[in-house]
Amino acid sequence: MTNSHIDLNKNAQSMEAASEIAGRSLWEDARRRLFSNKAAITSMVILAVVVGAALFGPMLSSHGYEDIRDYSAYLEPPSSTHWMGTDENGRDLFVRTLIGARVSLAVGIVATIVSLIIGVTWGAVAGYFGGRVDNVMMRIVDILYSLPFIFFVIILMVVFGNSLWLMFVAIGAIEWLTMARIVRGQTLSLKEKEFVEAAKAIGVSPLKIVARHIVPNLVGPVVIYVTLTIPYAILAESFLSFLGLGVQEPLTSWGVLISEGANAPSAPWTLLFPAGLMATTLLCFNFIGDGLRDALDPKDR
Residues 6+ apart with CB under 8 A from 57: 94, 95, 98
Q: How many CA atoms lie within 13 A of 49 on its CB side?
A: 10
Say whether pTM exceeds 0.75. yes
Q: What is the residue-averaged pLDDT of the chain?
A: 80
Q: Which helix (H) or strand (E) holds 268?
A: none
Q: Determine the average pLDDT of the residues in 94-120.
A: 88
Tell me the fold of 39-300. MetI-like fold (1.10.3720)
Higher pLDDT: 153 or 55? It is 55
Q: How far apart are CA 112 and CA 25, in angstroms?
A: 28
pLDDT tens digits, 223-240? 888 888 888 888 888 777
Q: What percent of the chain has a predicted confidence (pLDDT) above 90?
A: 10
Higher pLDDT: 272 or 174? It is 272
DSSP-based three-state secondary structure for 86: strand
Confidence of residue 18 (pLDDT cuts 50, 70, 90): very low
Whether residue 10 is predicted with pLDDT greater than 50 in this model: the reply is: no
pLDDT of residue 44: 93
pLDDT tens digits, 239-291? 777 777 777 777 888 888 888 888 887 888 888 999 899 899 989 998 888 88
Which residue ranges make up each domain of the chain? 1-36, 39-300
